[in-house]
Amino acid sequence: MHYFITCAAGLESVLKKEIELAGYKVMSNQPTLIRFQGDLSAIAKVNLRSRVWNKLFLELGQKKISDWDGLFDLVSTIDWEKYVQGNPINVTAASRKSQLTSTPTIQSIVKKSIVKKILHGDKWQLPEDHSKEAIEIFVFIDSDVCSILLNTTGESLHKRGYKKATGEAPINEALAAGLLLLSGRKFSEPLYDFFCGSGTIAIEAALIAKNIAPGSFRKFSFQQFDRYDQSLFSNELEAAKKKIFLEKQHTIIASDIDPEMIKIAQDNAKNAGVEKYIAFAVKDVKEYLVTSNELRGAIVSNPPYGLRLNNIIDLESLYRVIAELFEKNPQLHWWIITSYKPFADMKLSGNRKRSPLYNGGEECIFFKKSLL
């Protein structure tokens, strides 16, 4: 069986590594998209364990096509009753370097072909039960090769289900996990986030450190497919529970100037079952300047950029404090995601590397300073 999996731009290398570690063969990868081969249990395993990807699609059909009849015929070869039992159907599409380019027409033809197949050509209007979750079909045409894809995840995987509240500029869960994995930091060393907001980076760090499957908090689309063997999911869930290492000691420190955000972060950590592994504190980042050469370990943080936050922050002074903190603690490795461009020109010792990333559509730079 073939699967397509999507992720945020910049996280493809982490995603590829995770799929290979899960035991699957990567067939091809391109920006934000990886195609891999796996058995039926991959649906449960990947959805449950994935940290950085967004949606997992099962490929139901693939063929080179050059006209609308070819598209209609390809869709009609699929046994739709396996997946659709009165559910509303949403069809989305993308086309690149292909003869069929109009996405509204692709969507309409695909929907017509599905309805004709299910109703055996009798009527053109499928009775839809809106109390059921919608099924998402994604049609991806690349260089005339058309893939008909079924979303097995439902809502994007970055929605883990533990964040009941956030601040104004939260980072999404998959990106936070991606930063931690991209950083290559050792999970045995202390981790700090001095701008923790709703706690996403610290919570993801605790989930990774304890090896808790990030999909344990939510439901997935595939759980409603009548013909999917649900024991595959319960087996994966049991296997994932056995792999949790709660007894290992880790230091994760998360602070923020705003007491309201710390309260939200603590509640979110409680929802994820990791509140006792994170030391939360209300603290202005300036307070860390009173000591020198004391902080050891890693900082992975998402300071304010000023773009989405309403309150007026003197960003220049704030980033000077960050730079001073790094200079005073040369034993720290740090990874900062920001779209505050002048940070790139601030004088700092050590080697700094940068990778482009996107946070909620905003172009950011992930700055890294490692001790190596």
Ligand X SMILES: C[S@@+](CC[C@H](N)C(=O)[O-])C[C@H]1O[C@@H](n2cnc3c(N)ncnc32)[C@H](O)[C@@H]1O
By CB under 6 A, is residue 258 in contact with ligand X? yes
Q: Between vectors from CA 210 to CA 53 and to CA 203, what angle results, nearest 5°?
A: 60
By CB under 6 A, is residue 267 in contact with ligand X? no
By CB under 6 A, is residue 178 in contact with ligand X? no
User: Residues near 208 by Cβ (< 8 Å), separated by ≥ 6?
Assistant: 51, 177, 180, 181, 187
CB of 8 to ligand X, least distance (A): 14
By CB under 6 A, is residue 256 in contact with ligand X? yes
Nearest to 261 by CA among 188, 173, 199, 328: 199
The SS3 call for residue 89 is strand
- Taking only Cα atoms into account, the Rg of the chain, rounded to an integer number of angstroms, comes to 23
Identified binder of ligand X from the candidate list 138, 195, 225, 326, rule CB under 6 A: 195
CB of 194 to ligand X, least distance (A): 6
By CB under 6 A, is residue 357 in contact with ligand X? no
CB of 283 to ligand X, least distance (A): 6
Residue with smaller CB distance to ligand X, 110 or 202: 202
Which residue blocks in 88-230 are alpha helix, DSSP H?
103-118, 173-183, 200-209
By CB under 6 A, is residue 38 in contact with ligand X? no
CB of 187 to ligand X, least distance (A): 19
Identified binder of ligand X from the candidate list 257, 315, 323, 365, rule CB under 6 A: 257
Identified binder of ligand X from the candidate list 261, 278, 336, 364, rule CB under 6 A: 261
Identified binder of ligand X from the candidate list 95, 200, 216, 329, rule CB under 6 A: 200
Torsion, Cα 45 47 48 52, to 10 degrees, reads 110
Identified binder of ligand X from the candidate list 14, 48, 84, 169, rule CB under 6 A: 169
By CB under 6 A, is residue 324 in contact with ligand X? no
Q: Does residue 280 contact residue 266 with C-beta atoms inside 8 Å? A: yes
Please provide the distance, in angstroms rounded to a whole number, between the alpha carbons at the two ends of the chain.
42
Identified binder of ligand X from the candidate list 93, 302, 322, 333, rule CB under 6 A: 302
User: Residues near 365 by Cβ (< 8 Å), separated by ≥ 6?
Assistant: 337, 338, 339, 341, 343, 344, 354, 355, 356, 357
Which residue blocks in the chain are alpha helix, DSSP H?
12-21, 42-49, 68-76, 103-118, 173-183, 200-209, 231-242, 259-271, 315-328
Residue with smaller CB distance to ligand X, 106 or 269: 269
**Cα–Cα dist 209/321, whole Å:** 29
By CB under 6 A, is residue 98 in contact with ligand X? no
| Contact track, ligand X, 68-87, x by CB under 6 A | --------------------
Identified binder of ligand X from the candidate list 59, 284, 324, 327, rule CB under 6 A: 284
CB of 105 to ligand X, least distance (A): 40
By CB under 6 A, is residue 32 in contact with ligand X? no
**Cα–Cα dist 104/106, whole Å:** 6
Number of residues that bind ligand X (CB under 6 A): 22
Q: Partners of 9 in the beta sheet? A: none
Which residues of this protein are in contact with ligand X, per CB under 6 A? 166-167, 169-171, 194-195, 197-198, 200-201, 256-258, 261, 284-285, 302-304, 313, 318
